[in-house]
Structure 1
Amino acid sequence: MWIPKYRRKALVDDVREFTIKTLYQIAEDKGFEILVLGVCPDHIHLFILFLFPRLLNALKVPVLIGC
């Protein structure tokens, strides 16, 4: 679950569509499979299947968020 700062309702209209498209593109580039993606106005639910079991859990989220 990802939440914008102060749970502002920032994930609407074009931002919502951009976020969905970007998350699917990152998943394709990095070898993830997005099983469930729910984008609400103030948070995102994301359930992924990571196809690289040798990669540590601590490394998965930074890859997704671009750290």
Structure 2
Amino acid sequence: MRLAGLYALERLAQDNPGHRQTIVNVICAYLRMPYTPPEPAPAPDPERDRTAALRVARRRYQAARAGIAPPQGA
């Protein structure tokens, strides 16, 4: 998304020589902003994922046996 914005600004600068310096200033200000990398994704926990999948499957099975619609999200 950010890269698309930079490309759009670059095209705008090419088409509008009067605004070119302002656009360059905006791009430079963006590049000088501090960068905070995103938090790393938590490590996958296969046991937790398996337990959650079994819980959902159990709810669906019980709902089907009772002849009712399964709960939302299950």
TM-score, with length taken from structure 2:
0.29
Q: Which has the higher contact order (CA 8 A, sep 6+)?
A: 1
Between Structure 1 and Structure 2, the one with more strand by share is 1
TM-score, with length taken from structure 1:
0.32
